Amino acid sequence: MTVIKKVSFVLATIVVIGCGQKIIKPKAVFSQKDILETRVDSILKLMTLEEKIGQLNQYNGFWEITGPTPKEGQAAKKYADLKNGLVGSMLNVKGVKDVRALQKIAVEETRLGIPLIFGFDVIHGFKTISPIPLAEAASWDLAEIKKSAAIAAEEAASVGLNWTFAPMVDISRDARWGRVMEGAGEDPYLGSQIAIARVQGFQGDDLTARNTILACAKHFAAYGFSESGRDYNTVDVGESTLQNVIFPPFKAAVDAGVRTFMNSFNELNGIPATGNKYLQRDILKDDWKFDGFVVSDWGSINEMIAHGYAKDSKQAAEIAINAGSDMDMESSAYVEYLSALVKEGKVKESTIDDAARRILRVKFELGLFDNPYLYCDENYEKETVGKAAFQEGVLEMAKKSIVLLKNEKELLPLKKSGQKIVVIGALANDKTSPLGSWRIAADDNSAVSLLEGLQNYKGNQLTYVKGADLTEGRTQFIWETKINTTDKSGFAEAMAAAKTADVVIMSLGEHGLQSGEGRSRTDIGLPGVQQELLEEVYKVNPNIVLVLNNGRPLAIPWADAHIPAIVEAWQLGTQSGNAIAQVLYGDYNPSGKLPMTFPRNVGQVPIYYNYKNTGRPVMNEPESVFWSHYIDEKNTPLYPFGYGLSYTQFEYSNMELSQKYFSDDGSIEVSVNVKNTGKYTGKEVVQLYIRDLFASITRPVLELKGFEMIELQPNQTKKVSFIINKKTIEFFTANSKWEAESGDFKVFLGGSSAKTLEADFQYKNN
Ligand code: NOJ
């Protein structure tokens, strides 16, 4: 019997088991969900304990898959496990040829022929790379972000993948943490909206379609709160922060239908997240009713030994499975020890059944039982990877991700002719760095550099001088630690060229691999000699447009004080140079707003807009010492959350509330007029914040609760309205539940968290 026949046989059995003889019209009686559950249960009944454990085992596919069968070492063991039905999923396998080869073994050579799921870190694109997620968040454009995820899904699915380990929905307030590039920034509300957009973009409406893949909300939980911003470090946070700040984007992802979760490397209040029953069972599976599955992070089950939480790999497996971690990524702890642990009574077989059921359920939802080779079409792969529509999509996303931080002397937009423009900085001519971190499948040198983007505009005279490198040696490999260069020998040439220019464009910041996993920094200024280069060039020509490329907020107080135009251009992916050039030349009017606060210096970190007031807030007498402040730096950031300029200007007026008070299920409509008072058509993100003045648990001085992007022609005015209701003011209260408390509130409307207009309202819970 071929394996396809084996699978069909299983399905036929299911129908009998599931529907029974008395049922004449099963569809009318059973919902699709009932039928699916019956099919899952029927398969489970056929499985041995070892086969069920096999479903919980995920291996990295590092060997030459279509080469000779591995004969020794880890690869041989993995290969044997695969043939014996002891593997449920593989990661880092890409390309239809390899996926098909492995799927064939699972489907045609194992006893039950259960298909594998193939996972991959499609974080911001597969081969066609979109902006880093933090940059996309700066667009505040949920439809575009959803589209960007959908592009990534379509391209990834075409190479045989069915699962991305994204979105990362970790809130973080610490720019030192290299992985802020991978998230949506510091705010739980914006983070939740973006989590929803990304989950919907990846998963679409139909998981069985061949242009959708599974999403994975990660890292559950609190990974973004690692002490001192050092990756993998300890996390200690209280319940209010967990519930009100860290959990909301995860909960939003569950509500949006995300089918998988990944736990995290960090410990949370003394218990590693991977072995954390409170997180995975009490919150995720019980409270939030999540019925997909949880995958561990890479090797994080065994890492509980180093944490000092498990004495060996066997105990780590016991702790992790009992805590609700369903799939073991690369620890081999489940496949080695779970069977013995069940026999010893330390793990219930029902616990294994539950984990296996969750994984099988998702495999059914993907349609893999109906067609395990659905994602394995080489022609479709060829037609799809890198296609023109994807290039257009990531270009659009990239333009929208750019944030204009400063624009004096009308330096921007650039004039299109008659100008001598000198471009300085190694990043300007780099075709790899714009891909950022987490671009495993993209080819080096595949991004459009800034220089190439500028070269498309022929009217000006363009000269390029490097000035200085960022780092010594190669910067291409993810596992290399980079050393910033100290070589200033190129300065003189840069200064000589700058002297003659009408405008100098300096492309400075971080290399794409200076942020990301394992890339924490204690100095978040411009790395290497770039700050000196900037100051030297400024001495000979102050007409500088500083284009920043970075994966995290940078502390650039000198630049803010001296440089007339500053453009935050992050790492924008494959179409980076085209996007930046189009913004610099005014073919796209910048509309991005910062999703993370930019500090004045690293000593202010963690710095975020939704801080608590303290008992000693800002004092008006500057000579006073005893208030919550620094004696050597302001409390305020360099650029606040939600901030971003346009080539045009917007004026806010006529803030109105439909009433000053609401109760129970009532609401207030709050509106404002926004006028374009400048010369260009432009987009503005109108932001709504509230403040709960007193509560059973102290509340932040500001909380984002709504936003809307509008487009206005010069002189045009639009009225923008928001509804405030119970949902707007709810939080996790001292009663340990989400509820609205009666009291006094303020509401703010403006173009950033540096609020402009404000009003008061009250809520009364009858
Ligand atoms: C470790 C990272 O923390 C996680 O985000 C990623 O998905 C896995 N490695 C797999 O590459």
pLDDT digits (tens, 9 = 90+) for 399-453: 999 999 999 998 999 999 999 999 999 999 999 999 999 998 999 999 999 999 9
pLDDT band at 2 (very low <50, low <70, confident <90, very high): very low
Q: What is the pLDDT of residue 9?
A: 36
- In the DSSP assignment, the letter for residue 235 is B
**200-218 tens-digit pLDDT:** 999 999 999 999 999 999 9
pLDDT band at 67 (very low <50, low <70, confident <90, very high): confident
Tokens standing for residue 190: 């914006």
Q: What is the pLDDT of residue 349?
A: 98
User: Does the pLDDT value for residue 672 go beyond 50?
Assistant: yes
Q: What is the mean pLDDT of residues 459-471?
A: 95
Q: 94 to each of 54, 97, 143, 511, how far by Cα in Å?
A: 21, 8, 28, 26
Tokens standing for residue 659: 């009433």
Tell me the C-alpha distance between 237 and 243, whole Å: 10
Tell me the C-alpha distance between 330 and 117, whole Å: 15
Q: 670 to each of 238, 649, 666, 674, 675, how far by Cα in Å?
A: 33, 22, 13, 13, 17
Could you tell which of 58, 93, 165, 295 is best to mutate to test the pocket of ligand 1, judged by most ligand atoms within 8 Å of the CB? 165
pLDDT band at 70 (very low <50, low <70, confident <90, very high): confident
Tokens standing for residue 312: 């060996």
Cβ atoms of residues 551 and 437 within 8 Å: yes
Query: 3-class secondary structure for 575-637?
Result: CHHHHHHHHHCCCCCCCCCCCCCECCCHHHCCCCCCCCCCCCCCCCCCCCCCCCCCCCCCCCC
Q: What is the pLDDT of residue 12?
A: 36
CA dihedral 99, 105, 111, 115 (to 10 degrees): 10
> How high does pLDDT run on average in the chain?
94
pTM of the model: 0.96
CA proximity to 161, closest of 375, 438, 384, 365: 375
Q: What domains does the chain contain, in order, with CATH numbers?
A: 31-381 (3.20.20.300), 390-604 (3.40.50.1700), 650-764 (2.60.40.10)
Tell me the C-alpha distance between 88 and 106, whole Å: 9
Cβ atoms of residues 531 and 160 within 8 Å: no
Residue nearest to atom 8 of ligand 1 (CA): 298
User: Does the pLDDT value for residue 132 go beyond 50?
Assistant: yes
Consecutive H or E run containing 671: strand 668-676
Tell me the C-alpha distance between 126 and 144, whole Å: 17
Consecutive H or E run containing 46: helix 32-46
Q: What is the pLDDT of residue 619?
A: 73
Which residues lie below 8 Å from residue 285, measured CB to CB, with a gap of 6+?
291, 324
Residue nearest to atom 4 of ligand 1 (CA): 297
Q: Which of 82-96, 611-625, 704-718 has the lowest average pLDDT?
A: 611-625
Query: 3-class secondary structure for 236-280?
Result: CCCHHHHHHHHCHHHHHHHHCCCCEEEECCCEECCEEHHHCHHHH
**549-606 tens-digit pLDDT:** 999 999 999 999 999 999 999 999 999 999 999 999 999 999 999 999 999 999 999 9
**Amino acid code (one letter) for 729:** I
Which residues are catalytically annotated?
297
Distance in Å, CA 301 to ligand 1 centroid: 13
Distance in Å, CA 160 to ligand 1 centroid: 19
- In the DSSP assignment, the letter for residue 390 is H
More confident position, 50 or 480:
50
Distance in Å, CA 32 to ligand 1 centroid: 33
Could you tell which of 163, 517, 519 is best to mutate to test the pocket of ligand 1, judged by most ligand atoms within 8 Å of the CB? 517
B/e letters for 309-332, b = 16+ CB within 10 Å, e = fewer, are: bbeebbbbbbbbbbbbbbbbbbbb
Q: What is the pLDDT of residue 462?
A: 98
What pairing do the DSSP bridges indicate for beta strands 743-750 and 738-739?
unpaired
Q: Which of 42-56, 288-302, 609-623 has the lowest average pLDDT?
A: 609-623
Cβ atoms of residues 316 and 285 within 8 Å: no
Tell me the C-alpha distance between 550 and 568, whole Å: 8
Q: What is the mean pLDDT of residues 716-727?
A: 98
Q: Residues lining ligand 1, judged by CB closer than 6 Å?
A: 121, 165, 218, 297-298, 517
User: Does the pLDDT value for residue 181 go beyond 70?
Assistant: yes
User: Does the pLDDT value for residue 4 go beyond 90?
Assistant: no
Distance in Å, CA 219 to ligand 1 centroid: 9
Q: What is the pLDDT of residue 10?
A: 44
User: Does the pLDDT value for residue 474 go beyond 60?
Assistant: no
**512-561 tens-digit pLDDT:** 989 999 999 999 999 999 999 999 999 999 999 999 999 999 999 999 99
pLDDT band at 66 (very low <50, low <70, confident <90, very high): confident
Distance in Å, CA 440 to ligand 1 centroid: 12
Residue nearest to atom 7 of ligand 1 (CA): 165
CA proximity to 515, closest of 566, 439, 609: 439
User: Does the pLDDT value for residue 302 go beyond 60?
Assistant: yes
Please report, in angstroms and rounded to a whole number, the separation of the first and last CA atoms in the chain.
68
**21-42 tens-digit pLDDT:** 343 444 456 888 899 999 999 9
Which residues lie below 8 Å from residue 251, measured CB to CB, with a gap of 6+?
192, 288
Could you tell which of 89, 262, 296, 520 is best to mutate to test the pocket of ligand 1, judged by most ligand atoms within 8 Å of the CB? 262
**6-26 tens-digit pLDDT:** 443 344 333 333 333 343 444
Tokens 């973006």 locate to: 194
Tell me the C-alpha distance between 750 and 759, whole Å: 12
